[in-house]
Chains A and B, each alone.
Chain A
Amino acid sequence: MVESSVQSDADDNSQQVPSVDVISGTVEPHSNDAEGHEEEISGCGATYCCNPEWGPFRFIALFFMCFLGFGSYFCFDTPGSLQDYIKDEMKVDTVQFASLYSLYSWPNVVLCFIGGFLIDRVFGIRWGTIIFSTIVTGGQFVYALGALVNQFWLMQVGRFIFGIGGESLAVAQNTYTVSWFKGKELNTVFGLQLSMARVGSTVNFLSMVPLYEWVQTFSEGYQALGYSLLFAGITCVFSLGCALILGVLDKKRSEALHLDAAKSGEKIKLSDILTFPASFWLISVICVAYYVAIFPFIGLAKVFFMRKYDLDATTANSVSSVVYLISAIASPILGNLVDRTGRNVTWVFMAVLVTLGCHAVLTFTFWSPFIPMSILGLAYSLLASALWPMVALIIPEHQLGTAYGIMQSVQNLGLAVISIVAGLIVDTSGYMMLEMFYMIWLCIALVATIAIALVDSGGDGYLLMSAATRKRDFPHPPADAKLNEAFDDKL
């Protein structure tokens, strides 16, 4: 799944970015009664399991929150893990196959702006989560149905529906998380959820081929493909179950603590775009240019590994899964590293350079692909940990919703277009040219990173600074001096 949950990346990796709470959720506690006495908690809230301050209740909710997005992340890469089967059974070329990824991104060019609005103003967090989870589940089943009846256009419709639900579900997940785990645990929980997201993707790549081969014992052709995708859809049903249970738990908690429903807090104001600094636009360039060398690459990687390295389907998928597996483990560690050291631009530069090197190895050598893909997993984690928090370092708090919305919108637009272009390049010019294409984008990201360094050094140099220097010279982030105070007041 694309880095729309990057908000959770930012939240996870920077203790100095309290804007996470503004971006992803706010909670308004019930005020004390007229005499200033604290209201005594009664009813379910008085019991052990219903009190949100008690660990077990919150950890039960944590379990369901973590798996809320599991089905979405698992199913997002089902095209990639079954690429050769889809192309063989549905008789489609790489361009048409790539549309299964592109169509996921297209609705999110717009939805990035209105996801928070839908949660805050239209559906509420509980129903919003259930609705989005239902859309994700429905989309996956339409996609599977398309394969079952050998209608590729129906598969494309399913992926489009899936995309409508997927990114909005991530916003809902973030909103729940902030509502339940604000304070010291928040970053840890975000890190855990990010790792769970990566685990979902990894499990997809490791399990879909064995699942498909088992399905072939009682079915064949496009029907086997359809049944495999239906079985994958069970993870979405499971996640929908989590959404339902979480809704019940959240309602119990709200009643027990007399809380209003959580809100996403996203405030989108498009006129703010005019005030964004040059660094922000360069970060957006990196966001597009870098991730087009990751997600579309992984989507098409299985057949590349099979053809170039003579791997079987299962091993090829294992290679693809390595990036996410490494990322699941490395993201919290590298996030902590960036938190402690600062110097975000330097880390971004290193991450892009290393990614470029990995693609160069995949292009110009026959070394085992496990090596560059493992290093790619590290670089990808490092970039996420360093890049997304940069936005909060240069954009005032009240504009962050718009800023992240813009970035995700641009990112999804880039992915939607580049996925198709990548498919076209494979069909006409082969995988080497495709790798060259990715490397060109990474060079653009590298140039943009250098440009950020130059722009930042011409200003206050905040992005280039170490964490210690930032603390010493800028007690409050220069973008907005009262982020923490505003949030603490609300508690």
Chain B
Amino acid sequence: MRGAVVVVVILAAVVVVAALPPRNLTDPEVNPGCEECEEPWLVVTAGEGANNTLHHLWGAKETLSFLVVAGTGGPNVSVDWDALRNGTNRSVTFQSQPSHVFGFVIPSLILYNDPKDKGAFKDQNESLRVPVSDFTWSAEVLPRSPHQVAVKLQTTHFQDTPLPNKTRILMQVSAYGEDGRSSVLPHLLYTPNSAQLDLILDHFKLNLTEEANSWNKTRWGMDVVVFSSEHKAEEEDGDFGLKFHTQKSLDDEHTPGVFNLDQLTSAGARAGDEAGGYLQWRPVSYLTSDRDISEATIPNLNTSLPALVNLTEPLRKSLAYAVMGDNLTLSGAAVTSIISFGQYKDGYYEAENYTTWTVAIGEGEPPKETFSTLVVVVISLGVVLPGAMFLVGCMVLAVRRWRRHSSSDSILITAE
């Protein structure tokens, strides 16, 4: 029993000790300093901490870009708007040189026909890339709370044609100033060093090529480029570069039916440094707005992660290039991949015409999932109460047996 109490205390302490110091979040600004920008080229917010400032940069023009930039300077960001529009490097600068940059960019969507129902995008012959630059976006800053700010990004036009009412890509991007867990499934953990992107492909049917319009077993995917400012040269014993890892998780309390946690981490994050970056997500994409696990599919990541070799035009116009410039092509700095949504027998995208994906992006080590307080309390009571009853029961039985034995002995003695 004492051992169970010790376990509870230790677990509680772990939960408390693991919390990061909070940050004060600035209000998100859309296109700061640009008077003629209509679309969200750049959304910035910053979390000011005791030791440093964490900038969150989000963009939906040309490419979808999501960055976390750590630095020691203030929260202000300077943008050379002409340079940004022209795709000139380092068009976004900070009050002091950033100590670490991490992020990912989505330059294009992929529509693929999957007649063999394989699920993931891999070697399917019938596919079509849809550049993000073909879309027109709107940005809306959502009402903030003391430790959370959020922006809603939504498509309005495709190839300059207004999209039907229900057809859209909807993204809510949130930055946080304290530890916690998202209220929206899959209930990912957040920290003062992280942000979360919740992406929804909602009734996402586009008028594309004649061939693409004829496909009837289609799924959606995305090209992804993940990068960090860490670019160590290959060492014999060193751990470097961006790597994917899927972690088995015993506790599906927060994401019912999902027992895995996927992560893409930089070397610094794996080493437990503050100067590191990560993406963290649950391998589940919900197919309805209820977000029920019974209507869900899998976001498949191509885990081969080849290094980024060439800077394409969309990448040059992304916030990644605006912040990091040609450092993106340094060894170990960036990798490319594809995320495709689907699994065998999920009915394809047309089953529900709805797919979600939620990912956390952050600085430093990714947060670790632990048992909730409820689970710890239940385990403790479940061990303590029967254990106590068992001990008491054994003692009572022993005492009764001893008394019976004593009284039968005394009867024998009396009889003699």
- Residue numbers of A with Cβ under 8 A of B are 87-88, 92-94, 303, 307-308, 363-366, 426-433, 436, 439-440, 443, 446-447, 450-451, 453-454, 457-458
Q: Which of A94, A364, A454 contacts B393 (CB 8 A)?
A: A454
B343 within 8 A of A: no
B15 within 8 A of A: no
Bound CA span A293–B253, Å: 19
Stretch at the interface among B93-101, B233-241, B244-252, B310-318: B244-252
CB-defined A-B contacts under 8 Å, sample of 5: A307-B258, A436-B378, A436-B379, A446-B390, A450-B390
Judge whether A458 and B257 touch: CB under 8 Å: no
CB neighbours of B17 from chain A (8 A): none
Question: Closest Cβ of chain A: how far from B7's Cβ, in Å?
Answer: 12
B residues 373-415 near A (Cβ < 8 Å) are 375, 378-379, 382, 385-386, 389-390, 393, 396-397, 400-401
Question: Closest Cβ of chain A: how far from B360's Cβ, in Å?
Answer: 19
CB neighbours of B251 from chain A (8 A): 430, 432
CB neighbours of A431 from chain B (8 A): 252, 256-257
CB neighbours of A366 from chain B (8 A): 248, 250
Question: Closest Cβ of chain B: how far from A105's Cβ, in Å?
Answer: 23
Interface residues on B, range: 20 to 34
Judge whether A308 and B259 touch: CB under 8 Å: yes
Chain A residue with the shortest CB-CB distance to B384: A443
B292 within 8 A of A: yes
Chain A residue with the shortest CB-CB distance to B255: A430
Contacts A429-B253, A440-B382, A443-B385 given; indicate if A453 touches B292 (C-beta within 8 A).
Answer: no
Judge whether B256 and A426 touch: CB under 8 Å: yes
B243 within 8 A of A: no
Bound CA span A169–B6, Å: 53
Q: Which of B256, B375, B389 contacts A436 (CB 8 A)?
A: B375
Q: Which of B253, B389, B393 contacts A430 (CB 8 A)?
A: B253
Contacts A454-B396, A457-B400 given; indicate if A433 touches B386 (C-beta within 8 A).
Answer: no
Interchain residue pairs A-B with the least CB separation, the first 4: A430-B252, A430-B256, A450-B393, A446-B386
Bound CA span A92–B295, Å: 10
Judge whether B396 and A428 touch: CB under 8 Å: no
Bound CA span A219–B251, Å: 38
Contacts A366-B248, A447-B385 given; indicate if A429 touches B256 (C-beta within 8 A).
Answer: yes
Bound CA span A123–B382, Å: 48
Question: Closest Cβ of chain A: how far from B189's Cβ, in Å?
Answer: 16
B254 within 8 A of A: yes
Contacts A307-B259, A447-B385 given; indicate if A432 touches B375 (C-beta within 8 A).
Answer: yes
Contacts A88-B294, A443-B385 given; indicate if A453 touches B259 (C-beta within 8 A).
Answer: no
Judge whether B256 and A363 touch: CB under 8 Å: no
Chain B residue with the shortest CB-CB distance to A427: B256
Instruction: List 13 extra interface pairs beyond A307-B257, A447-B385, CB under 8 A.
Output: A94-B294, A429-B253, A429-B256, A431-B252, A432-B253, A436-B378, A436-B382, A440-B378, A443-B386, A446-B389, A447-B389, A450-B389, A457-B401
Judge whether A87 and B294 touch: CB under 8 Å: yes
CB neighbours of A447 from chain B (8 A): 385-386, 389
Judge whether A363 and B400 touch: CB under 8 Å: no
Bound CA span A307–B249, Å: 11
Question: Closest Cβ of chain B: how far from A434's Cβ, in Å?
Answer: 9
Question: Closest Cβ of chain B: how far from A284's Cβ, in Å?
Answer: 19
Question: Closest Cβ of chain B: how far from A302's Cβ, in Å?
Answer: 12
Name, among A303, A364, A429, A458, the residue most crowded by chain B CB atoms within 10 Å (CB to CB).
Answer: A429
